[in-house]
A and B are shown apart, each in its own frame.
Chain A
Amino acid sequence: MTASVAMHLSDGVLDAPTSLLFGAVAVTWLTVAAARGRIDIDDRTAPLAGLLAAFLFAMQLLNFPVLPGVSGHLYGGALAAILLGPWVGALCLSVVVAIQALLFADGGLTALGANVTNMALLGTAVGFAVALAARGLARRSRTGLLAVAFLAGLVSTVAAAAGFVVEYAIGGQADVSLGGLAGVVIGVHAVIGIGEGVITALAVGAIAKVRPDLIYLVRTSEARQPVEVTS
């Protein structure tokens, strides 16, 4: 019963050195994110980050059907990146993934580094890169913003899945065909990514309607009021 609720990567799928390696990757990345993210923080960031993290936590528990007998859930990397930027977004989502592993037994303890790397770091970074590349379109119209949010959500989900495939290639514990695994994992996440894209677009669209200034991706520099540290 307890084993069937696991949704993130469990312990024992990757070997110990690989788990350790991605633990180190996650710690390094989060240290950089904490340093760089500080510049992005203004009065609105802390409440928005808290609310978004809570929303993502709830949404990650809400599996939606994607294929017969297969479900998916929101990862949230693109949404976090679009609303909070890539650094605060990554920190926010890391807390979500860590709490799931520590309190809900969702995602193994030794696999925490890999889970954080895939969902919170890769998902956020790739989601932000896609959104940033299409920022002109996102600023032009509401339709443009929704399209960019959808695309960022879709690509970030596939990127998180690809991250796992790379980890498995480095230190997977079972003797299975890597090409086959890559096809299945990335294929199913491309379908989940459509759901991710739709939810990301809906959430960004709802916020754009009432508080467009809260969307990191499209707010103008004067709206952001960066705290210039003169030193």
Chain B
Amino acid sequence: MTMSRVSLRRFALVAVVVTAVLAIGVSAFASASPDGLEWALRDGCTSQAGELRGTCPAQHEREHALGEFALDGTGLAAGVGTALVLLLVWGGVALMRGRGARE
């Protein structure tokens, strides 16, 4: 596969733009229905005033301990989370390489 490759810089730029659009557009695009796992785990229960009633795998589910401090699913929060993950992983892998490449 010999073809003109785009530079890593340009590749990264396009990837950042695509990811930013996805992250910031989260609240607009995402389906609000429960995801497959949540749906399967609540099968058999009914939700009454935020409490699960009946018998289902999630019936003893607890509220997230950090729930009230958590960032929400808005575009801004998603953007912040995305940027944080980018920096953590890029930096972390670069550090791993730094230590591994020492000869």
Give the CA-CA distance A172 to B55 in the complex, in Å. 13
CB distance from B58 to the nearest CB of A (A): 6
A-B contacts counted at CB < 8 A amount to 234
Q: Are A105 and B64 in contact (CB under 8 A)?
A: yes
Contact of B99 among A10, A38, A73, A108 (CB under 8 A): A38
Instruction: Find chain B residues with CB under 8 A from A5 CB.
Output: 72-73
Give the CA-CA distance A86 to B11 in the complex, in Å. 22
Instruction: Find chain B residues with CB under 8 A from A69 CB.
Output: 33-34, 39
Q: Mark A45-60, 1 if CB is under 8 A from B, else 0.
A: 1110111111101110
Q: Are B18 and A55 in contact (CB under 8 A)?
A: yes
CB distance from A124 to the nearest CB of B (A): 14
Q: A54-B19, A95-B88 are in contact. Are A2 and B71 (CB under 8 A)?
A: no
Instruction: Find chain A residues with CB under 8 A from B12 CB.
Output: 47, 51
Contact of B85 among A11, A96, A184 (CB under 8 A): A96
Q: Are A45 and B93 in contact (CB under 8 A)?
A: yes
Q: Mark B29-47, 1 if CB is under 8 A from A, else 0.
A: 1111111111111011000
A72 within 8 A of B: yes
Q: Mark A177-218, 1 if CB is under 8 A from B, else 0.
A: 000010011001101100000000000000010111110000
Q: Is the interface of B mostly helix, strand, loop or mixed?
A: helix
CB distance from A174 to the nearest CB of B (A): 5
Q: Are A63 and B31 in contact (CB under 8 A)?
A: yes
Give the CA-CA distance A91 to B90 in the complex, in Å. 11
Nearest CB to that of A5 among chain B residues? B73
Within 8 A of B (CB), among A24-70: 34, 37-39, 41-42, 44-47, 49-55, 57-59, 61-66, 69-70
Contact of B62 among A12, A73, A176 (CB under 8 A): A12
CB distance from B9 to the nearest CB of A (A): 9
CB distance from B40 to the nearest CB of A (A): 4
Give the CA-CA distance A38 to B37 in the complex, in Å. 33
Q: Are B58 and A10 in contact (CB under 8 A)?
A: yes
Q: A46-B93, A70-B39, A173-B60 are in contact. Are A58 and B26 (CB under 8 A)?
A: yes
Binding site for A on B (CB under 8 A): 1, 5-6, 8, 11-12, 15-16, 18-19, 22-23, 26, 29-41, 43-44, 50, 55-68, 70-73, 77-78, 81-94, 96-97, 99-101, 103
